Chain A
Amino acid sequence: MKKKPERLLTGVELEMMGILWRRGSGTVNDVLEALPPSRKLAYTSVSTILRILEQKGVLKSHKEGRGHVYASVVKKSDYESKTLRLLVDNVFDGEPTHLVARLVEAGNLSEEDLEAMRKLLGERGE
């Protein structure tokens, strides 16, 4: 497969990925069932989106019975990192501290959050 420049997933794609990350794997029908009742997506739409995700290399599929079972190839945490990296690269001039500073400024970070982060860094740092 040709190498494509790194791009983020679209909104619907993330919605599908969210379900599959939670479930581990699933068929089109599994995904449909997992959607909230208010979200009306057609079978073909979901199937199409999953196929595109497979082409994007974030899902893989194998045939089972009449349908395909899709499983994520990319871990949720990996995708989160990638998203953050792209965000930092594109918006915060490649400096993660700028991102943290902005989060603090925006008041979205509580003391507990910061403590948890320190802990996380400490674990990784050793």
Chain B
Amino acid sequence: MSVFWEFNLLIIIGAVLMKVLVTKRWVAFRQLLGLSRIVVALVILLPLALPFFPKASLATPSAQIWYAPSQSAARNPTAEEGALTVGESRDFALPLGALDWLGALVLAFGLTVTFIRLTPAWFKLGHLRRQSYPLKRIGRVEIRVSDRLTVPLSFRAFSRAYVLLPHSLIERVGDYRLSVSHELQHHRQRDTIWVHALEVFRGLTILNPFSHLLVKVMAEIQEFACDETLLEREWISARAYGGCLLRVAETARQSRPVLVGTTGMAAGAAGSLLKRRIQMMVKKRRYPKSVGLLGAIMAVALMTTVAWASRSLIHDRRVTRAIAQSLLDDMRRGGGEFPVTINAEVVEQLNTFVGTPDGREYIKGSLARMANYRPFVESKLKEYGLPIEFLALPIIESGYQNPRQSPHPLHSAGLWQFTPGTARNFGLRVDDEVDERLNVEKATDGACRFLATLNLRFRDWELATMAYNMGERKVQRGIDETGSRNAWVLLQKGFTGDSHYLARMEAAALILRNPQILE
């Protein structure tokens, strides 16, 4: 349900933002038109795209390579050894799961209403078109004249674009030229395409009054942008154009309402809007040439929407520092040796893993796959005297996924995400024929020896973990320059590879020891 609410919140923000912008005239209407379309697209796309964001951020960059949906086909259900099997690849959750049946009902209702509204209009338009006579073609647009029409209108049906003119316009050459220019501009601005998209959008969000406001404001912006563009042409004077608009408005007042699915001069002729359009023509305005302001507004709009959207990533459950501490105590009682630090970063990562549906899914999937490797990896960790908590390292490196195929030669690979260079240092063969990083036994053995080496050098498991991620040299440089041997101090001073790596590893270690917290 949460996605559903956020979707509606986004609409409110978008509608209000657009309304303010169209009233204040801070930017040219043409720019506003583009901006409003981006906002509508964001409002529609963000909730749909949400489920795909968190996954990427949960895994390390190298693990993402194996996490991409495109890889799933190539993913291997069994490891090379045969004895060790990898768990199922995970499915992506769709936001529809968050909508309950009531939401689905509202959607169905909205689409039905849209269908009922649009179908007769379409038939009528088709009828009008067949009863009209072609005048000429301008580009892809066909200009036609109809006896039955009182106001000009334009519409698009699939790839064909039409302008229908009332017969009476032919006699008035000036108005005829202005009307054709106006309608062509609507086609050029792609208003005739957007009108369909907006109708569907309105249908999908039928119960939200702000979506109607948003659609209305967008229609206004279309008209304003159209006027603005036309008035820049030399042959069009504000006086003649405004007069033409007034005459059309007068005719429109006496005739039936404009058809759904069309744009046209009369659509923008309703009372207050017409007045504002004429005011706009009279009061010309200079806009700052720089796109800086527009950029700033777009950034604000984007950040607002993303901020709202990302709420769904966060926290249907909250892990406090106290709970984290108790997890650590449990771990210690169970004989954990890894020196987990409870600080804000670790708590934050813990919350990402435990507090969001996506995080839980990631961890659960990793733990399920880990079960297959656990006896072997544990025996190796013991053999080299490493803390059992390093079982959590492949969780954050690969999610315990081991592909069959070698990755790109420069990418890291395998459960432990070795780079080719490190792998060769620890005696693994990586060449065109064989990639032993994908051999779980050899890779695990190599990783354990690497970790043991790092600990021999730094004599600190946190520093060793950091070095596993960003290299020994950088860690050494950090120690030399800061004079501290505290991994968290190094992180603070900017000696980072993946800055969340250590926190993520410790959070995963805590969960590994207390898997019940996922329930």
Contacts and interface: CB of A to CB of B under 8 A. Distances in A.
Q: Is the interface on chain A under 10, 10 to 19, 20 to 34, or 35 or more residues?
A: 10 to 19
Interface in A6-36: 7, 10, 12
28 contacts: A2-B130, A4-B131, A7-B147, A10-B147, A10-B167, A10-B168, A12-B167, A12-B170, A12-B171, A41-B171, A42-B173, A44-B173, A45-B170, A45-B173, A45-B176, A48-B135, A48-B145, A48-B170, A49-B170, A51-B135, A52-B133, A52-B135, A52-B145, A52-B167, A52-B170, A55-B133, A55-B134, A56-B133
B240 to A, nearest CB: 15
Interface string B133-158: 11100000000010100000000000
Contacts of B135: 48, 51-52
Contacts of A55: 133-134
Given A12-B170, A45-B173, 18 more contacts: A4-B131, A7-B147, A10-B147, A12-B171, A41-B171, A42-B173, A44-B173, A45-B170, A48-B135, A48-B145, A48-B170, A49-B170, A51-B135, A52-B135, A52-B145, A52-B170, A55-B134, A56-B133
B497 to A, nearest CB: 73
A44 B135 CA distance: 11
A41 B171 CA distance: 6
A28 to B, nearest CB: 13
* 3 residue pairs, one from A and one from B, having the closest CB atoms: A42-B173, A55-B133, A52-B133
Interface string A47-60: 01101100110000
Contacts of A49: 170
A45 B171 contact: yes
A2 B176 CA distance: 27
Interface residues of B, number: 13
A51 B90 CA distance: 67
Interface in B247-271: none
Most chain A beta-carbon contacts within 10 A, residue among B131, B133, B171, B176: B171
Nearest to A7: B147
A52 B147 CA distance: 11
Nearest to B165: A48
A109 to B, nearest CB: 31
Interface of A: 2, 4, 7, 10, 12, 41-42, 44-45, 48-49, 51-52, 55-56
Nearest to B167: A10
Most chain B beta-carbon contacts within 10 A, residue among A49, A52, A55: A52
A55 B134 CA distance: 9
A52 B145 CA distance: 8
B119 to A, nearest CB: 23
A55 to B, nearest CB: 5
Interface in B332-372: none
Nearest to A13: B167
Contacts of A7: 147
Nearest to A55: B133
Contacts of B170: 12, 45, 48-49, 52
A44 B143 CA distance: 15
Nearest to A15: B171
Contacts of B147: 7, 10
Contacts of B168: 10
A87 B131 CA distance: 21
Contacts of B134: 55
Nearest to A8: B147
Contacts of B131: 4
A7 B147 CA distance: 10
Nearest to A41: B171
A45 B135 CA distance: 11
Interface in B161-195: 167-168, 170-171, 173, 176
Interface in B103-145: 130-131, 133-135, 145
A52 B173 CA distance: 16
A35 to B, nearest CB: 12
Contacts of B130: 2
Contacts of B167: 10, 12, 52
B166 to A, nearest CB: 10
Contacts of A41: 171
Contacts of A44: 173
A44 B169 CA distance: 12
Contacts of B145: 48, 52
Contacts of A48: 135, 145, 170
A48 B131 CA distance: 17
Contacts of B171: 12, 41, 45
A81 to B, nearest CB: 21
B180 to A, nearest CB: 12
A56 B167 CA distance: 13
Nearest to A53: B133
B309 to A, nearest CB: 52
Nearest to A2: B130
Contacts of A12: 167, 170-171
B147 to A, nearest CB: 6
Nearest to A48: B170
A24 to B, nearest CB: 24
Most chain B beta-carbon contacts within 10 A, residue among A44, A48, A56: A48
B503 to A, nearest CB: 74
B434 to A, nearest CB: 73
Most chain A beta-carbon contacts within 10 A, residue among B133, B167, B170, B176: B170
Nearest to B166: A10
A41 B169 CA distance: 12
A12 B173 CA distance: 14
B473 to A, nearest CB: 80
B315 to A, nearest CB: 65
Nearest to B131: A4
